[in-house]
């Protein structure tokens, strides 16, 4: 096969395999990949075995939710890169990828504004007690004073646990509402370069002094159940917890207990340890809680941006160019 102008091809096309996807069309990926001379095959894999069969001979794997286990990675004899649609890589065995010398990339910059907007909307909805007041009005209870103590924004400290792209965007929205700003991140220390007016806190200070605590960090062995019973015991009774990051960061049974006992004022979650949220989960009966169904990432622009960025990252890898967003660099 003759190489085309602007193509990475030398003697033969590269095989790109999409293991699974939730988009109505793959026209964007086809345009990017086939326009560069690649061959695209798409599947809807749900199991390890299905991925192994679909990925035979693949030079590139693009994955959304399918399990990319050690067995899958061991079978990828020709694979040059694994690209995850989205930010999290919970379903990819990163250690196995590293062991087998396969880079893993994500797409961390496709929905920053969407998640930041959603996060701040959840936070202010609970801070202003909108769900509780709405419920009271629907029940014909009309009071011009809210059901619980309500602090002014300028009295409150908004803390992000994590200080990446989305956390910084959330804090900028909080700045506009005159909240006091703080961040907690293992990579931050006194003197770290942060935006003007953002206080650096350690995890103990965050739990004890945060009025609104918003989670923005990956799920790892170290961060699993970072917020549990011990953390709730340290928080203010007026504290609000927000999670638009990863469900496993919170021990949700402990959260349900904390809400039911009034140990914190409220919680808003867009992500859960198990999705969908089980019908019998105690969170469903917890007061002062606001739930959305893992939609923080979504807008009419974010979906095509995600598809395009994932395909472009995959093409870069096959061209031998440095990836923009390596999670597991090789």
Q: Domain boundaries in the chain?
A: 15-110+300-328, 112-291
For residue 193, the model assigns a pLDDT of 79
Strands 15-18 and 60-63: parallel
For residue 194, the model assigns a pLDDT of 87
What region does 182 belong to: left with phi over 0, alpha with psi -120 to 50, or beta? beta
pLDDT averaged per 10 residues in sequence order, the chain, 330 residues: 39 84 97 96 98 97 98 96 94 96 95 98 98 96 95 97 96 98 89 87 97 95 97 98 97 98 98 96 96 97 97 94 89
State the architecture of 15-110+300-328 in CATH terms: 3-Layer(aba) Sandwich (3.40)
Whether 36 contacts 55, CB under 8 Å:
no
DSSP 89: -
Distance CA 58, CA 73 (A): 11
Q: What are the Cα distances from residue 98, in Å, to 43, 81, 287, 321, 323?
A: 25, 11, 44, 19, 15
Distance CA 170, CA 114 (A): 10
Phi, psi of 284 (to 5 degrees): -65, -25
For residue 42, the model assigns a pLDDT of 98
Residue whose C-alpha is closest to residue 88's, from 198, 4, 31, 164: 164
For residue 5, the model assigns a pLDDT of 38
Domain 112-291 has CATH 2.60.120.260: no
| Residues identified as active-site | 246, 275, 294
Name the H helices within 36-141: 48-54, 70-74, 94-99, 112-127, 130-138
Distance CA 4, CA 9 (A): 7
For residue 110, the model assigns a pLDDT of 94
Residue whose C-alpha is closest to residue 158's, from 139, 138, 178: 178
Q: What are the Cα distances from residue 40, in Å, to 31, 43, 58, 66, 173?
A: 10, 10, 10, 17, 40
| Range 274-278, long-range pairs (CB < 8 A, 24+ positions) | 274/247, 275/247
């Amino acid at each position: 096969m003759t190489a085309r102008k602007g193509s990475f091809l030398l003697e033969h096309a590269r095989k790109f395999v999409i293991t699974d996807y939730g988009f109505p069309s793959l026209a964007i990926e086809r345009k990017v990949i086939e326009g560069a001379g690649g061959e695209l095959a798409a599947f809807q894999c749900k199991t390890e075995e299905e991925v192994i069969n679909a990925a035979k001979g693949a030079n590139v794997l693009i994955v959304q939710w399918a399990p990319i286990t050690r067995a899958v990675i061991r079978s990828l004899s020709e694979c040059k890169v694994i690209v995850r649609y989205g930010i999290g890589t919970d379903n990819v065995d990163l250690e196995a990828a590293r062991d087998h010398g396969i880079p893993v990339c994500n797409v961390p910059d496709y929905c920053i504004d969407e998640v930041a907007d959603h996060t701040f909307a959840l936070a202010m909805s609970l801070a202003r007690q909108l769900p509780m007041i709405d419920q009271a009005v629907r029940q014909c209870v009309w009071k011009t004073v809210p059901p619980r103590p309500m602090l002014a924004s300028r009295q409150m400290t908004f803390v992000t646990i994590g200080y990446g792209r989305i956390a910084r965007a959330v804090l900028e929205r909080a700045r506009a509402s005159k909240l006091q700003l703080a961040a907690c991140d293992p990579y931050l220390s006194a003197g770290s370069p942060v935006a003007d007016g953002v206080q650096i806190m350690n995890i103990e200070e965050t739990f004890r002094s945060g009025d609104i605590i918003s989670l923005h960090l990956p799920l790892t062995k170290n961060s699993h159940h970072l917020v549990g019973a011990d953390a709730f015991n340290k928080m203010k009774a007026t504290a609000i917890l927000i999670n638009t990051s990863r469900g496993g960061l919170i021990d949700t049974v402990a959260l349900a207990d904390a809400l039911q006992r009034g140990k914190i004022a409220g919680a808003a979650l867009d992500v859960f340890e198990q999705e969908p949220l089980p019908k019998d989960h105690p969170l469903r009966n917890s007061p002062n809680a606001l739930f959305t169904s893992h939609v923080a990432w979504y807008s009419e622009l974010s979906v095509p941006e995600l598809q395009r960025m994932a395909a472009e990252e995959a093409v870069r890898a096959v061209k031998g160019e440095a990836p923009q967003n390596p999670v597991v660099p090789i």
